[in-house]
Structure 1
Amino acid sequence: MIDGIFSAYGDFIGWLYTAGLQPMLYALGMMDYADDLYRWLDFAVFGLIGIIVSWVVCRPLEAANPVERWENRDPVHTDIIYTVLSRVGVFPLLAFVLLNGAQSWLEGTIANTGFVAPTLESLVPPLRDHPLLALACYVVILDFGEYWRHRFQHRFGWWWALHSVHHAQTQMTFWTDDRNHILDDVLAALWFGALALLIGVPLGQFPVILLILRLAESMSHANIRMSYGSVGERLVVSPRFHRLHHGLLSAGQTGKNYGVLLPVWDWMFGTADFDRRVYPPTGVPDGPEGLATGSWFRQQVLGVRRLAQALTGRG
């Protein structure tokens, strides 16, 4: 059944490419970019699927049992712009394609010495015969990497200056997941893409993994008064667990609950807060108002300004 779904999806992407994108590339004389844009199309369609699924799952829950209600939802509308720009997969794909080219060159150079770089499936051969188990292993390893990237975003002042764009939202919803400074997105894409290549994630599984992690993040950011219970909270990051991370008292370097999908990393490294059964307000106390309520462009400018202040010691 899984193979049938992927086969049907592949046929759909192929049809979409040959019927729409390929003729346009030919007319513009851009066929040299055909392979890269075919991969982008795969990411873009997965991104649109992710947006639809997130809306179908999260929006009814937010309407039924919200943490907060607002009359003016303009900041939420700005987050929708972030999501549409991000979910087409431009940055993760760009990083993966560029790094993949660099890796091919490096592996070719190393191959002349007779050394073959190991991958996850070469280190654990049985994974070759169990693609779903291999996919689960990739998700766990990449989630571990995302935990540490998230901690570093709070640990280093210059990185927090960019990441504070994400935390500045005082009307947090499932759209907030993709509310990031563009430079922060580039760093995240390079981090994620490099780790994916290091462990040998197949290019065809890369968008599937992104979809899984992004759906989990959409749910954890949702404006829902929801906990998964004493056991579930320790298995999967919940809206309550992650809202504590976004709470005003957790902003900056003193945060808790950094996990993206699995809270086990917070438990292992002493950054978990499973006890407080509260839903605090969100935002960045020391941030300018425009960082929370400004337009997409205004927030990007303020992020660069805060980055410059952090690098020069004035922030």
Structure 2
Amino acid sequence: MVMIILEHALPARRYSGNALKHNLDNLLLGASGTILLRLVPGILAAHLALQNELWQIGISYSLDLPQSSLLFTVSAVVFLDFCIYWQHRYFHYNKYLWRLHRVHHSDTMLSASSALRFHPLEILLSMLIKSALVLGLGIPFVAVVLFEILLNACAIFNHTNIRLPKRFEQIFRRLVVTPSMHRIHHSTDLVDSNRNFGFCLSVWDRAFNSYAPLNSSGINNFVMGVKEVEKTESEGLASLITQPFKQQR
């Protein structure tokens, strides 16, 4: 709610359509993913991490690493962010996974609610990947919960249609992904949309040659969305749910 208020007070770009409908579509899609996860709570990463304190499955338990130490918790959170970066990149390069992720990118009015705009099947698959990491590596419960809070907070922040002060922007993006940095990733230009994959820490894009400080045309008012997705297929809950299964032009 804070981000929604701020993006109306300090917008980076003007809305080109019905903002209320746009936010409602995104909220409904996000809710559908939440409902799906509620139906299969046994796969939730935090749930498995809690159970794993009894099972003690994974590399960290095998190596007898200090599960309760602050250093281990911080390291686990950073490593999960690293994994999400590569998951995001792979969803762009695999044509089948891209069909699911494309629903998120078909948003042409990026705002705080866009952080919730993920297809339910992508949410489910992402949770399965995180759960596998939690069990395989033996990541503790507290690290999983902290990471989920951080991931969601950062996703809402970097999707927000807000204009940060230039000096603050330059300093802040050295550590975390800012709205102007992530906005480039939502350009219709493939050169730009294959840059800035990070959700929280910006270091991964810099380290793995996917960082772009500006979009390829060097302007702020570039077009966002996916070229091959019709406008009618990027609006409305039913269209968003069925979009991955339709043949695109």
Please say if 1:272 is aligned against 2:203. no
Which of 72, 80, 83 in structure 1 is aligned with 2:18? 72
**Can you give the 5+ residue segments of structure 1 that lack an aligned partner in the other structure?**
1-54, 109-115, 310-314
Aligned to 1:287: 229
Contact 2:177 2:198 (8 Å CA) reproduced: yes
Contact 2:29 2:120 (8 Å CA) reproduced: no
Contact 1:96 1:194 (8 Å CA) reproduced: no
Aligned to 1:31: none
Q: Whose helix fraction is larger, Structure 1's or Structure 2's?
A: 1
> Which protein has the larger Cα radius of gyration, Structure 1 or Structure 2?
1
Describe how 1:58-137 pairs up with structure 2 within 5 A: 58-66=3-11, 67-70=13-16, 72-73=18-19, 74-86=21-33, 90=38, 93-96=41-44, 100=48, 117-119=58-60, 122=63, 124-125=65-66, 128-130=68-70, 133-137=71-75
Which of 137, 145, 156 in structure 2 is aligned with 1:207? 145
Runs of 4+ in 1 over 6 A off after TM superposition: none
Which of 197, 210, 234 in structure 2 is aligned with 1:258? 197
- C-alpha distance in 2, partners of 1:290/1:128? 50
The higher-RCO structure (CA 8 Å, 6+ apart) is: 2
Q: Deviations over 1:36-76 (max 9, x none)?
A: xxxxxxxxxxxxxxxxxxx12x0121011112234522122
Deviation at 1:239, TM superposition (A): 0.1
Counterpart code for 1:181: H
Q: Deviations over 1:134-161 (max 9, x none)?
A: 3322221111100011001110111111
Q: Percent identity?
A: 25
Q: Deviations over 1:57-102 (max 9, x none)?
A: x01210111122345221221012123344576389442379949x
Aligned to 2:175: 235
Counterpart code for 1:268: A
TM-score by length of 1: 0.66
**Can you give the 5+ residue segments of structure 2 that lack an aligned partner in the other structure?**
none
TM-score by length of 2: 0.82
Tell me how large the CA RMSD over aligned residues is: 3.1
Helix, strand or coil for the counterpart of 2:44? helix
For these two proteins, the number of residue pairs brought into alignment is 238
